[in-house]
Structure formats: C-alpha cells, structure tokens
Structure 1
Amino acid sequence: MLARVAESVYWMARYLERAENTARLVHSYNHLIMDIPKGSEPRWTVLVDILDARDCYEDFYQRETEANVHKFLLSKIAAPSSIAASTQMARENLLVAREVLSEDVWERVNELHLYVSSKSLDTTTRRSRLKFLHEVSSICQSITGLLETTQLRDHAYRFMSIGRLLERSDMTARIVDVGAGDILDREGKFSTVDPLLWSVLLEALSAKSAYWRCHGPIIAKELVVDFSFGSLKFPRSVVSCLNELEIHLTGLGDSSQVSEKLNEIRVRV
C-alpha cells in the first residue's frame, strides 16, 4: 500500500471524526444555553478552549461573543478545527485515496462538503444553527456507517480506523479536561445548574443514554469522569479507543513499542 494513500485515509478519517465531534459539541452547548438560567451560563469560548484553538481564534477576533465563536467553529476555513475546514480537508484527502474506498463513500463525503460550503454561513440564528449542526452530525455518522459496512478489512481500513480512534480519544479527553475544569471552577456558584452542566458534557460525547444504562439517572461528577475515561463498554471512552487502536496497530505488523506506550497511557487513565 502506498504511503500517500495510507496517510490520506488516516487523515480523511480524522477530519470526518473532527467535524462530527465539533458539530455535536457545539449543538450540545447551544441546547445548554437555551435551558440554563440567564446569568449562570458558561462562557462561549470554552468551546474554543476545548479544541485548543484560542491562539487561532484571537488571530481573527478580539471579542469573545456568541457570533464570533460560531463563525470561527462553523464556517472559518482558516481555522483548522472548524467544521468547514475539517470537511474540506476530508474531501481533499479522499481524492488521493479514492481508489481504496467505495463510490458511495465518495458521494457522501462530497455531499457533506457541498452542504457545509453552502450552509455554514447561514447559521446566524439558533434554529438555523441547530439544523445545520444536526445535519452535519447525521451525514458524518452515515459515512462512518458506510465505511464500516463496505470497506475491506485491509491496511487501508486499519489506517482509517487508527485515524478515527486517535481523533475520538483526543476529543473525549479534551471535552472532559476543559469542560469538567470549567464546571468545577464554577461549582457552588450556581449549584442548581451543576447537574445540567455535567449532563451536557455527556451529551457532547453522545454518552448520556449509555451512562444512564450503566449508572442510572443520577449524574455525579466522579462517575461522569470515570465513565468518559475508563468505561470498557462505551466505545467513545478513552480506554475503549486505546484498546481498539491497539488491535488495528497489531494488524499492521510489529507494534510492540506502540503497545508499551498504550499500556502506559491506560495505567494513567
């Protein structure tokens, strides 16, 4: 398998996962803002901090406003973490790797790129924004489903899976690290909304239903953090991603050094 094709499927998967994760994160936060009492809402730029994009944000904007944050995360091509940039880069990498992927995948990724290109600027109202974010998440999930059900289990599939799992585990860690940190900084100031904040953190990981099945409807901060990092049953937890990542790396050949590193991370988690 050519190195450029392997690299392209790896990055295609990462960018698709990034677009879906960012869409779900912003969607969850918008719902929070609508549900939370005025004056107790967290800052909008926590979304930028989760994506480790503060420096890039400040290159374009001086004020921390709802409108600026959404322009930056949804439609700003020059922002690497934006949905617009992620979908564009996913398509560009797919062009290189098209020979190892199905026609259905190509059509769906192209559809995603065209949709984001035409609609990302038309998200100034919360209703239009939520519709846009929901559609991006849905298309990304359908692409993942196509890849899982049509892709040969070869090296291309392994590199694609490695890219997706690395991006997924990284985003989970960032959401819990920055999001939980922001909640804990506010803890006690608005005690009545603390459970809602932890609930939204689970929603940002698409983990709320899974958490309820494991722990019931009571949302406790310690359980949320443990579930997000260490659950062996939840596929978006950091440990689950690392376990699956090791399987795909082993399929590529000698991965003893990487396995040692993964074991070190698992112990720390």
Structure 2
Amino acid sequence: MSMLERIAESLFWIGRYTERAENHARLLDVYYHLREESDASGDTVWKRIAEAIGDTALYEERHEAYRERDVIHFLTLDTAQGNSLLCCVSHARDNLKKIREQLPAELWNLMNGFYLWLKSVKLDEVLQDSPHGFFQKVKEGLAAFQGTAVSIVVRDESWHLMEIGRYLERSENIVRLLQSVRRTLPDSKESSYGYTMALLKSVGGAEAFRRLGLVEMSLEEVCRFLVLQETFPRSVQFAIASFENRLKSLRGQADKSGSELERVIRLAGKTRSELGWLERHDLTLDNLDSVLQQLLSSNRQLGDAMDKYFFSPGREVTA
C-alpha cells in the first residue's frame, strides 16, 4: 500500500498532538502538587510552569507578571498560543478532518466532540474549585480517543504512522518533564515523598514503581525509572524502542524508498542502543542534566529525520 505524503504527515501529527495534549494536562496537574512542596514564590513557580510548555517571550509581551490565572489561560485555553492545550487538540482535529476517510468514523466523532467541549470551557470553570478535575477530564477524553484507536484501527500504515508520532512525542515530553522538575530542585540530592510521588503520578507510574520493587522514593531513583525502565510504557526507553519498532513495521508499506526509511530506523536504533548501555548507577543527579540534554537532542534529530525523509519540514508546531 502506498500513501500520499500529506496523508502520512497528518497521521503522524495526529499521534504527536494527541500525546502532547495529554502530556500538557499531566504536567500542569503535577505542578499544582509540586508548588505545595516548593519553597519558591508564586511568581517563580508559575514562570517555571510557563517555561515547561509555552513561549515565555510571547507571554511576557502580553503580561507583566507570572500569575496563576494568566499562566493557566496561556497554557490551556489561549488560541493565540500555538502550543496551548486547546491548540494541540485543535491541530489534532484539523489533521484528522483532512483524512477522515483513512480512519474509522468513530475516531472523528470522539475527537470532534472532545474539541467542542474543550473549546466551550471557561477559565473560571477551570479555577473555580481545583484544576485537578479539569485536567482529569482532559486526560480521560484523550484516553478515550487512544483506547478506541487501539480497539478498532486496522494495523496498517495509518496505524503505524500515528503510533510513530505518539511515541516520539512521548519520549520528548518525558525528557522535558524531567528537565523542568530538575530545574525546580537544582541543588537537592533528595526530595520529599510528596514531591516524588507527584512526579510519578503525573505519568501514571506510582503503582508500577512499587510493583517493580523500587522502594527508594528519591528523585534520582524516579528519574532512573522514567528514563531506563524498559517495561513501563511512559519511560523514554520504552517510547524510543516502540518508535523504532513501528518504523520497522513500515518496511514494504511506506511510500518512500527503502534507503530513506532505513536511515531513520538506524538513527532510532542508535538512540535506543545508547540508552541501553546506560546502567542505573550511571544515571545520577550529578550527570542527569547532560543525559537529558543529549536525549532531547536525539529526539529532535529523529523528528528532523522524519521531516526530511517523509514529510514537508516546518509545517507543524514542533514543540
């Protein structure tokens, strides 16, 4: 089966944008927990949140200070901020609309309904009691879309391209999450139980962490888990391996020469192999910054390679 470039690109970005929106919701939710653990001032905390997701230069053009109300609007419902949660969902919907004939109609109905709900939400509704309820609804809506896709989409080129986008986005977002948290406690070797538990909960990993017998609830141990744990679906290691495997599934299907696809596969394999050589004791708080920066660079190289060999560069919001 061959596929037009524009269709392949839309499928890839559906995967990326839906994953990005879910990660935004998870990250914002966890910051509400983390700020209770932090001694930093309110302005400092909200600036860190803005830095983790949004364009701070754009924010500072429009606002004099980092206040909760302004930051939450900027990162969730602001249609003029291309990386806001609402814009990510809108981009996913727009890409899905272009290729509705390629996927089951049930997916369009779910995405369109979710977008219309999110578009109707007012900021006061988000802040009225606790934003946790709002972010939970966002996560549930996106999980419904992904769960339905898992249940009914044929495992053909369309499926693999969405999954490739999803896992590449997941890997990059976990790296960004850890970088953001590391900046929050730059000099701490240990962190409170509440702090590290909030971090694990942000990726749904608290129960998995316990089941694997990882009882030392330190920031260092949690970072090792989220980078290196091969069996946890939201670790960097798992995401990169899944990205590589989905690329391999395109062999014989993708409307590209074998050599172009193989170049991207080799680059993904190199990233996965470098991660595989890391031992738990090799990843410490002293070298975490350099490891995360290298991983972020590798993720960007993979994204650039997808653009170069498969799509038209520069047409989408990349981060």
What TM-score do you get using the length of structure 2 for normalisation? 0.76
Partner of 2:210: 212
- The corresponding residue for 2:271 is 265
Contact 1:74/1:120, CA 8 A, preserved across alignment: no
The number of residue pairs the alignment matches comes to 264
| C-alpha distance 234-15 of structure 1, shift in aligned 2 (>3 A) | same
* Partner amino acid, structure 1, of 2:268: L
| 1:249 positional shift | 0.7
- Counterpart of 1:157 (choices 159, 174, 191) is 159
Matches within 5 A, 1:108-147: 108-123=110-125, 125=127, 127=129, 129-147=131-149
- Whether the aligned pair in 2 keeps the contact of 1:162 and 1:249 (CA below 8 Å) is yes
Give, in angstroms, the shift of residue 268 of structure 1: 4.1
Code of the aligned partner of 1:235? P
Distance 1:173 1:183 in 2: 16
- 2:84 corresponds, among 82, 85, 94, to 82
- TM-score (normalizing by structure 1): 0.89
Determine the structure 1 residue equivalent to 2:281. Answer: none
**For 1:11-160, what aligned pairs fall within 5 Å after superposition?**
11-33=13-35, 35-36=36-37, 43-51=45-53, 53-123=55-125, 125=127, 127=129, 129-160=131-162
Q: 127-136 vs 91-100, which deviates more?
A: 127-136
Change (3 A) 1:78 1:215: farther
Alignment partner of 1:256 is 2:266? no
| Residues 162 and 37 (structure 1), Cα distance of their counterparts in 2 relative to 1, 3 Å cut | closer
Instruction: Give the percent of matched residue pairs that are identical in Structure 1 and Structure 2.
Output: 29
- Give the aligned residue type for 2:205: A
**Which runs of 5 or more structure 2 residues have no equivalent in the other structure?**
252-257, 276-319
Q: Can you list the C-alpha shifts for 1:162-210, whole angstroms capped at 9, x where unaligned?
A: 111111111001001221232234x38xx7x633222222222222221
Shift of 1:22: 0.7
C-alpha distance in 2, partners of 1:20/1:84? Answer: 11
- More displaced 10-residue stretch of structure 1: 115-124 or 227-236: 115-124
Deviations 1:238-267 (A, max 9, x none): 111111111111122233322332233234
**Root-mean-square deviation over aligned CA pairs:** 2.2
Indicate how the Cα distance of structure 1 residues 53 and 199 shifts in structure 2: closer, same or farther if over 3 A, else same: farther
Counterpart-to-counterpart distance in 2, 1:50 and 1:37 = 16
Alignment partners' CA distance in 2, 1:99 and 1:55? 39
Q: How many angstroms apart in 2 are the aligned matches of 1:7 and 1:120?
A: 32
Q: Do the aligned partners of residues 90 and 122 (structure 1) sit closer, same or farther apart at CA in structure 2, a change above 3 Å counting?
A: farther
- Which residue identity lines up with residue 264 of structure 1 in the other structure? K
Shift of 1:229: 0.7
Question: Partner letter of residue 252 of structure 1?
Answer: L
Please give the alpha-carbon distance, in whole angstroms, between the structure 1 residues aligned to 2:122 and 2:94: 18
Any gaps of 5 or more consecutive residues in structure 1? Answer: none
CA distance 1:56–1:123, change in 2 (3 Å): farther
| Offset, 1:217 | 4.3
